[in-house]
Amino acid sequence: MEYRKKKWSDTWHWCKNCSNWPTSDYDVRYTKPTSGELCNQCKSKEKDGECK
Ligand SMILES: [Zn+2]
């Protein structure tokens, strides 16, 4: 799983189909981030089984 966060944001995304998925100027993690916020849209996609 790849987690991405915009440099100036505290919100981590992990669904590539999230409308806020960062494509430039982002930090990347390959483990679940321990700081910052987790994106609500990514959370709901994951819950619905739509996280890609
Ligand atoms: Zn997201």
- Ligand 1 center from residue 35 Cα (angstroms): 15
What confidence tens digit (pLDDT) does each residue in 20-35 have? 999 999 999 999 999 9
Whether residue 17 contacts residue 45, with contact meaning beta carbons closer than 8 Å, is answered with: yes
pLDDT above 90: percentage of residues in the chain: 98
- Ligand 1 center from residue 45 Cα (angstroms): 9
Range 11-28 average pLDDT: 97
Q: pTM for the complete prediction?
A: 0.93
- Sequence ranges of the domains in the chain: 3-47
Q: Please identify which residue in the block is written with the tokens 């819950």.
A: 47
Which residues lie at CB < 5 A from ion ligand 1? 13, 18, 20, 39, 41-42
